[in-house]
Amino acid sequence: MATTETPDPIHVVVLHSEQPLTTDPAEAHPGCRVTVLTDGAPTAVSEEVEPPDVVSMPRSEWADQLARWARGGRVDVVTGDRSCREVCAELRSGLGLAPNPTASADL
């Protein structure tokens, strides 16, 4: 029997700290739920594009937040911010993802 149900969209989490976003992450990840996770002020995430949902919290809490989101479905973690590359690889590994996402350069 065929089903018409569509799978839940992937939740793409874009890590941010210092470098403002230069492209709309929702356009880089069509059909996905996109959230920017920053350890800075939400207003510093972007100067040129309107980011989707922005969650601001200390970097030390990112792993716990990602684990909560992962309980609700598939999560992917990417970054275009040089200062977040190492933590991105660590967080991806903790979620069982390859350490270097190919999409990081798209932000």
What does the pLDDT read at residue 57? 96
Residue recorded with tokens 């018409």: 4
The contacts of residue 27 (CB under 8 Å, 6+ apart) are none
What does the pLDDT read at residue 64? 97
Specify the DSSP class assigned to residue 31: T
Residues of the chain with pLDDT under 70: 1-7, 101-107
Residue recorded with tokens 């029997």: 1
Residue recorded with tokens 């920017």: 36
Q: Token pair of 63, please?
A: 């792993």
What's this model's pTM, rounded to 2 decimal places?
0.86
